[in-house]
Chains A and B, each alone.
Chain A
Amino acid sequence: MKKVLIIDDEEYFCRALKKNLELKAVCRALAATTGAEGIRLARTEKPDLILLDIMMPGMDGTDVAEALLADPATSSIPIIFVTAIINKEDVRRNAGQIGGRTFIAKPVKIEDLIKRINAL
């Protein structure tokens, strides 16, 4: 079973997404509510995919992504940015690819996310 790491400062979001993913039994989900905790979990748990929020207090999503890419232990883990700062229409029009990065716009439609995970 695939392992997915959710990094988002919204605790309820982490919980709800985790529950949704586990309910559909597509993967095992882990969650971190800070960037630092997320990096630590990425190193120790070696997830198959990281779902990363961008706007977080302290270390934000782009900082976390840079740190993960800089570390050989985590550099190969695919990252999907899950964010409310990117327009849903832009994400749809660009098939989730903007500036070499993959995005999913909030609010997350579970079915869309599952398709992405299964495509890994």
Chain B
Amino acid sequence: MRAPTRSPDELRKEISALKRQIGKLEKTKRACEQAQAGWRESEARCQTIIDAIPDGYVEADLAGNFTFINNRICEHLDYPKAELIGANIRRFQNAAGFQKTFRVYNQIFKTGKPCKSFELACLRKNGSQKIFEVSASLARDAQGRPVGFCSVSRDITERKKMERALRESENRYRMIVENINESVSTMDLNLNYTYVSPSEIRTSGYTPEEAMRTPPDKELTPESYAMALGVMAEEIKREFGGGPVDIHRKRSLELAMYKKNGDLYWQETTTSFLRDENGQATGFLFVGRDITARKQAEKDLQAARDQLLQAEKLSAIGQLSAGVAHEILNPLNIISLELQLIQEMKNLPRDVSEELSICMAQIDRIVAIADGLMQLARVSDKKMETTQINDLIAGILTLHKAQLMIDKIETVVRYQDGLPEIPMDRKKIEQVILNLISNARGAMEDRESKILRIATDREGTDAIRITVADTGRGIATEHLSKLFNPFFTTKAQGKGTGLGLSISYGIIKDHGGRIWAENNSWGGASFYISLPVRRTMDVQAP
């Protein structure tokens, strides 16, 4: 069968239609070629970008085999790309790490939701570990079926290391601050507490929270508070005054503070400025150390020094005085005998006889002074007997009750029960207590309220204390240190030799005890005697 013949017109039309079609096809081909070039360019750009980003990029199939990685992954794991493609993630993790990875990716697969940030630990070729922060999502094909996972990972090994170091360092400092005996606190520049260490409870009894709520003027004695405020004001002025400052400077203060239970204690506080990274002061740092024991030891040492000095002084004066007394007594003896001779003379006029009696009385006075002087040097000649101090005081008061009543003095006595008997020279201790009572009587002579308070107390386990307090005028501060010096007296001329207290001092010292005086709240003076309980070595059989 022959094909239908077409007319030349028909053929011409067909040819031009074919030509148009060829033109279209060529256009399409050119467009395709252009698109292909563009796609290649785009793919190359993508690859460049993927390789350029600081993060790692991995595509894996659903079994965890790497199907695509960027160069950063090669750097991170220290393997060439060829070795990584096709490798399973399990190869770069330990068992625990892989278990975690599996859980995360399984979750992504099941839910279809990406996981924004999780940590993943991988082992490098050399065995060292790297930690990555990873974001992962499910990859799907054109039909939306899951075909694998895409993950972006960031190396956070250094950051983790720093975080751990920081945490350790913080823990270490916290441990130090919380366990040291020093209390550490910080304040802002408005003097509000910003931190108080737990060790505070050991020094003051306050919990950190309580301490932060307690205003500083309640924690410090008024004197210490004023001193601390003064120092801080001075430092703030120096810091912000514009002049050159030493940013490492510190100030040390000895502060008297109150514990939660109201007891007083001493703290040595070192203060410096807290500073930000630019060295700008942002607050105060205080490091406080309890120095109560040191303060007490210093006080005791000073008291011991004073006592030693006093003892040495007394000893020297005592010896000198005894010598002087002896030298005075000899000529006085002669004068006395001569006066006694004159007194015996017949027919003495009455007024001469009277004058002679006055002279004899004055000789007695000189003898009393000389006796006192000689006692100063001879206090160690004592006769020890174990004595109940309460009985001794009761005995003295019985003998002197009448005199105290005549003087209109009310006597208030408080005996501590169960005091141990202690060895003492009864006569000498009696002499000391009598001397104190006699001084108290004298001090209250012109006072309206005349109350003599005598008390005995236990002083720890090693000593007993006797207190003799009056409601007289008290002792002038400048006299307190001289009270026990020989010849020191505030009594009127002829009313006291100024030897009573120094003899008492010598006697008490010789018993291994202490005697001291303070002004009391009744306006008068309180004298205290502390006698040791155990001195059995010295006790002689009565």
Contact = CB atoms under 8 A, between A and B. Distances in A.
A113 to B, nearest CB: 10
Interface string A1-39: 000000000101100110110011000000000000000
Interface stretch (B83-91, B171-179, B231-239, B331-339): B331-339
Contacts of B332: 106-107
Interface string A77-92: 0000000110111100
Given A84-B326, A89-B375, A17 B367 contact: no
B374 A87 contact: yes
Contacts of B336: 107-109
A117 interface: no
A93 B341 contact: no
A95 interface: no
Nearest to A54: B326
B344 to A, nearest CB: 5
A110 interface: yes
A24 to B, nearest CB: 7
Nearest to B431: A89
A52 B391 CA distance: 42
A13 B334 contact: yes
Contacts of B381: 90
A89 B371 contact: yes
Contacts of B330: 10, 13, 84, 106
A24 B332 CA distance: 21
Contact-residue size bin, chain B (C-beta under 8 Å from the other chain):
20 to 34
Q: Is the interface of B mostly helix, strand, loop or mixed?
A: helix
A55 interface: yes
Contact-residue size bin, chain A (C-beta under 8 Å from the other chain):
20 to 34
Given A20-B337, A20-B340, A84-B325, A107 B374 contact: no
Interface in B59-113: none
A20 B345 CA distance: 10
Contacts of B338: 16
A110 B340 contact: yes
Interface in B467-510: none
Contacts of A55: 326
A20 B341 contact: yes
B382 to A, nearest CB: 11
B329 interface: yes
Nearest to B377: A87
Contacts of B374: 85, 87
B378 interface: yes
B427 interface: yes
Interface in B342-370: 344, 363, 367, 370
A90 B425 CA distance: 14
Contacts of B337: 13, 16-17, 19-20, 107-108, 110
Contacts of B363: 107
6 contacts: A20-B344, A87-B374, A89-B375, A93-B427, A108-B337, A110-B340
Interface of A: 10, 12-13, 16-17, 19-20, 23-24, 55, 84-85, 87-90, 93, 106-110
